[in-house]
Chain A
Amino acid sequence: MSGNSGTLLPIYVMADESGSMNGNMPALNAGLAHLHLKLLAAPMAAAKVRFSVLGFADDAVQRMPLVDLRQQSEIPQLIARGTTSYEAAFQELLNRIPQDVDRLKADGYKVHRPAVFFMTDGLPNSDEDWISTHRRLTDRSVTKAAPNIISCGIGDADAQTIQLIATNPNFAFVSDGDRVGDAISSFCAALTQSVINSGTAMANGQAELIVEPPTGFRMVVDEI
Chain B
Amino acid sequence: MQPYLLGGLDPTVEPQPQPQPQPQPQPQPQPVNDLAPRGLLQLPAPYRPAPVTGPSRDPANGTDWQPITVGTPCLQFEPRPPRTISYRPDAVCDGWSTEHLTVRLASVRGYAHRHDGRPREDDAAVAYHEPTGTVLFAVADGVSSATEPYIGATLACRTAIDDLTYQLDEGHGVDLVRTVRAAAWQLAARVAGAGRQATAEHSQEAERRYATTLVAGTVSTGQHGVPEVSLVQAGDSGAWLLHRGSGYFERLLTTKDSTGEDVLSSAVTPLPRVSATLQPIHVRLLPDSVLLVGSDGFGDPLGDGTGDVAHLFAHHLRTPPPTHGVAHLLDFSRETFDDDRTLLAVWPRHLLPGE
List A residues at the B interface (Cβ < 8 Å).
Answer: 2-8, 43-44, 47-48, 101, 108, 110-114, 144-145, 200-201, 203-208
Question: Does chain A have a CB within 8 A of B262?
Answer: yes
* Residues of the B chain whose Cβ atoms lie less than 8 Å from the Cβ of A201: 144
Q: Within the complex, which residue of A4, A145, A205 is in contact with B340, where a contact is CB–CB below 8 Å?
A: A205
B304 and A44 form a contact (CB under 8 A): no
**Which residues in window 59-113 of B have CB below 8 A to A?**
71, 74-75, 110-113
* Residues of the B chain whose Cβ atoms lie less than 8 Å from the Cβ of A7: 264, 300, 336
Segment with Cβ contacts to A, from B40-48, B186-194, B197-205, B306-314: B306-314
CA distance A170 to B141 in the complex (A): 29
15 A-B residue pairs with Cβ-Cβ distance under 8 Å, sorted by A, are A2-B33, A3-B307, A5-B71, A5-B336, A6-B336, A43-B75, A47-B74, A47-B335, A101-B262, A101-B263, A144-B262, A203-B112, A204-B110, A205-B144, A205-B296
Report the minimal beta-carbon distance from B342 to chain A, rounded to whole angstroms.
12
Report the minimal beta-carbon distance from B78 to chain A, rounded to whole angstroms.
14
CA distance A205 to B340 in the complex (A): 8
Interface of A, helix, strand, loop or mixed by DSSP: loop
> Known contacts A3-B309, A110-B264: does B339 contact A44 (CB below 8 Å)?
no
Question: Does chain A have a CB within 8 A of B145?
Answer: yes
B308 and A206 form a contact (CB under 8 A): no
Tally inter-chain residue pairs, CB-CB below 8 A. 95
> Known contacts A7-B264, A111-B263: does B118 contact A204 (CB below 8 Å)?
yes
A113 and B263 form a contact (CB under 8 A): yes
CA distance A112 to B266 in the complex (A): 9
> Known contacts A44-B112, A205-B340: does B334 contact A3 (CB below 8 Å)?
no
B300 and A4 form a contact (CB under 8 A): yes
Q: Within the complex, which residue of A44, A108, A113 is in contact with B111, where a contact is CB–CB below 8 Å?
A: A44
B75 and A205 form a contact (CB under 8 A): no
B338 and A203 form a contact (CB under 8 A): yes
A2 and B308 form a contact (CB under 8 A): yes
* Residues of the B chain whose Cβ atoms lie less than 8 Å from the Cβ of A113: 263-264
Question: Does chain A have a CB within 8 A of B115?
Answer: yes
* Residues of the B chain whose Cβ atoms lie less than 8 Å from the Cβ of A47: 74-75, 335-336, 338
B115 and A6 form a contact (CB under 8 A): no
B266 and A206 form a contact (CB under 8 A): yes
Question: Does chain A have a CB within 8 A of B49?
Answer: no
Q: Within the complex, which residue of B115, B116, B145, B262 is in contact with A206, where a contact is CB–CB below 8 Å?
A: B145
* Residues of the B chain whose Cβ atoms lie less than 8 Å from the Cβ of A208: 145, 266
B141 and A205 form a contact (CB under 8 A): yes
* Residues of the A chain whose Cβ atoms lie less than 8 Å from the Cβ of B110: 203-205
- Which residue of chain B has its CB nearest to the CB of A144? B262
> Known contacts A4-B301, A47-B336: does B307 contact A207 (CB below 8 Å)?
no
Report the minimal beta-carbon distance from B298 to chain A, rounded to whole angstroms.
11
* Residues of the A chain whose Cβ atoms lie less than 8 Å from the Cβ of B75: 43-44, 47
A207 and B266 form a contact (CB under 8 A): yes
* Residues of the B chain whose Cβ atoms lie less than 8 Å from the Cβ of A6: 334-337
- Which residue of chain A has its CB nearest to the CB of B143? A206
B335 and A3 form a contact (CB under 8 A): no
CA distance A24 to B82 in the complex (A): 43
B336 and A8 form a contact (CB under 8 A): yes
Report the minimal beta-carbon distance from B113 to chain A, rounded to whole angstroms.
7
B306 and A207 form a contact (CB under 8 A): no
Question: Does chain A have a CB within 8 A of B272?
Answer: no
Contact digits for B112-127, partner A, Cβ 8 Å, 1 yes 0 no: 1101101001000000
Report the minimal beta-carbon distance from A69 to chain B, rounded to whole angstroms.
14
* Residues of the B chain whose Cβ atoms lie less than 8 Å from the Cβ of A44: 74-75, 111-112, 115-116, 338
Q: Within the complex, which residue of B71, B112, B301, B336 is in contact with A200, where a contact is CB–CB below 8 Å?
A: B112
- Which residue of chain A has its CB nearest to the CB of B118? A204
B307 and A2 form a contact (CB under 8 A): yes
